Chains A and B, each alone.
Chain A
Amino acid sequence: MPFLQEQDAAFVRTRLAQDLRDDVTLEFFAPATGGLVLPGEDGQTAEYARQILAEVAALSPKIRLNVHSTIAEPDAAKAFGIARTPGTAVIGARDFGVRFYGMPAGYEFATLLELIITASQGTTAIAPQTREMLAQLQRDIHLQVFVTPT
């Protein structure tokens, strides 16, 4: 049973065709993959997350989904800085440091789309003053944005 209804999939396909520029890779991490779903809620959430990402990736030739198991590939998880699962790195022409943790469902599906498009465009419409401030930062910045799908 697909997550996206046909009309929604068509809308997303059109939007992606219009707004994507560079290719985007979704590096998805969950404990178990390859059709194996661990019992319990966490296993189901990870599988749903993977499915949503797969459906999105199928809607554009510019989006590629790579599915990783943190159990089988602990070094890859570390390399991508995946702190928790399910966790997805959204990578454009380079890694802009954006990660999505959890299932991109409900309102957060729109968030995922925006992350993909932004990573693909490789730039944002932020003010010059903002760019100047960012250049002057003394420390690394770790932003955490807590959201919920409901």
Chain B
Amino acid sequence: MLREGAPFWRALSQRGTAFAVVALVSLGAFSALLLAAGKNPFAAYGDTILYIFGNAYGFSELLVRMTPLIFTALAAALPARIGLINVGGEGQLYMGAWLATAGELALQNHAAIVLLPALTVLGFVGGGLWALLPAILRALRLVNETISTLLLNYIAPLIVSYFIFGPWRSPESSSYPESPAFVDAARLPTFLHSRVHAGLIYALVCLGLYWLTLNRTHYGLEMRAIGGNAEAARRLGIPVTRYMLAIMFVAGGIAGLAGMAEASAIQGRLVAELSPGYGYAGFLVAWLAGTDAAGILAASFLFAGLGSVGDMLQITQGLPYAAINILMAGILFVVLGRRPVRGATR
């Protein structure tokens, strides 16, 4: 599809055109569906474009939605480079938030300069450990990581619920099941009176590091080798198992940062419904983007934009917000259905 060594802008415009075609086809089908349902989608699209680009709040909310998607996309993309499938972004996100909350409760009386880095580290470690378990199982050839990460996605929110209904139940009003509010020092700073928060910086940093590692370090080369043919890589002396464990830990850690950021910046506490499926959406973002950094940025922007369309459809057209999933899936179906790839795929 893309020639190796093609100039950057050429490649981008090729990709961009492909995306435009996909978007138009899917949008067309979706609009037809909505018209059949008696709604006026064009008004909603118009409202959305104005909202996103003509309105500071609209644009900022798009960024807010985009932030966790970048994290979870990386969490899926990184292991994919060495041939591992991580569908566990959802669970890793929750466990990152969980460990960060534990830290917040323990270190409440410290200043932000101590608290924020500590929570960041804990968020990373929480998610990382949750991904390490499936990695170990895979390395020991016991369980395929696809299914183990999937199963752990269910256990993590239950653990979070257990704690916020029990030991971490907020005493204020002794009512609603959630953790006590994070102290101000534990909240990630936001920018310009919007909800855009420092988590976005983390996400972009992670994205940058991802690109750097893969394209400019020898680790990237070795990872490419493993992704191409793990057995051959092992014979060449590359420590495949060590990479497996390390990469999964890092990937889970990145998803854990998403959880920590959502809890600290957006929710301000640990809640049961921390993620509306960011983990799965991130997996799809990574898949759509072909696991390269620029693609992840663009695709997460697109998905976040779809969310804004969904908001508008709900408020102005009375459609259930969930309907936007049809468009998202439609785009994916079109992409997935393009020219079949030669050779067996996983």
- The answer on A and B forming one complex is no
B residues at A contact (CB < 8 Å): none
* Interface residues of A, Cβ cutoff 8 Å to B: none
